Structure 1
Amino acid sequence: MFFFFVGGLEQQVRQVLKSRAGRCIACGSRADLVDYDKVLKLFFVPVWRWPGKQPVMYCNDCKLFFPQSLTPPPPSMDGVPDVLRCQFCRREVDGDFRFCPFCGNAL
């Protein structure tokens, strides 16, 4: 007799506390400060959810949750343009782009 467990534990955003609060540590794009829930799923159906202990940063682009203590400081607003660095070709790209104009990969 075999038993297969199809389920898992994941994190889901409950509420955005501060939009664009910092930068992602993986891809460098904008990250939000969020409250989150941990969700237990069985057969892809949420069964049980409980709140996270403290707010964390969440990147909308790469879907990464990470502690606020690891966040680089947000860029200053003294007229300096908001610049990202492409994770593939490492060139600086304007912060309004979703795709790198040099190599075409998603930012």
Structure 2
Amino acid sequence: MFFFFVGGVEQQVRQVLKSGAARCINCGSRADLVDYDKVLKLFFVPVWRWPGKDPALYCNNCNLIFPQSFSLPPPPPPTTDYDDYAPSKSLSCRFCDRAVDPQFRFCPFCGSSL
């Protein structure tokens, strides 16, 4: 007589405590601080759940749940105003005369080649 056991333990997010709290250690994208449950599944059906010990970080991009002690610092907020660059760090477009980041190949305002 043979018995096959198809199952395992999985972690599932229960509640998001803080959005964008850190960066993922795997892919570098934003990770949320979450409460999570551990779930025992038999034949892909949840059988038993119990809460995790401490809040953890969850990456929406790669679905990784990892402890806070492993986290990277949160990413800096994105800057969208291109006119605030210092003159030493900026390049100006020759057609519209607006300040443009030197890493750009095309002007984001008029679309001309830099």
TM-score, normalised on structure 1?
0.70
| Aligned counterparts, 1:1-107, within 5 A | 1-77=1-77, 79=79
Cα offset, 1:77, TM superposition: 3.9
Letter in 2 for 1:41: K
Letter in 2 for 1:72: L
Letter in 1 for 2:72: P
Moved over 2 A (4+): 75-81
Cα RMSD after superposing both structures? 1.8
* 1:69 partner SS: helix
In the alignment, the residues of structure 1 paired with residue 75 and residue 62 of structure 2 have an alpha-carbon distance, to the nearest angstrom, of 20
**Larger-Rg structure:** 2
In the alignment, the residues of structure 1 paired with residue 78 and residue 20 of structure 2 have an alpha-carbon distance, to the nearest angstrom, of 16
Shifted more, 34-43 versus 67-76: the winner is 67-76
In the alignment, the residues of structure 1 paired with residue 75 and residue 65 of structure 2 have an alpha-carbon distance, to the nearest angstrom, of 20
Cα offset, 1:73, TM superposition: 1.1
Assess, with a 3 A threshold, how the Cα gap between structure 1 residues 45 and 16 changes in structure 2: closer, same or farther. Answer: same
In the alignment, the residues of structure 1 paired with residue 44 and residue 34 of structure 2 have an alpha-carbon distance, to the nearest angstrom, of 23
Count of residue correspondences: 81
**What are structure 2's unaligned runs of at least 5 residues?**
82-114
TM-score, normalised on structure 2?
0.66
Percent identity, aligned pairs only? Answer: 77
In the alignment, the residues of structure 2 paired with residue 16 and residue 77 of structure 1 have an alpha-carbon distance, to the nearest angstrom, of 20
Assess, with a 3 A threshold, how the Cα gap between structure 1 residues 78 and 46 changes in structure 2: closer, same or farther. Answer: closer
**What are structure 1's unaligned runs of at least 5 residues?**
82-107
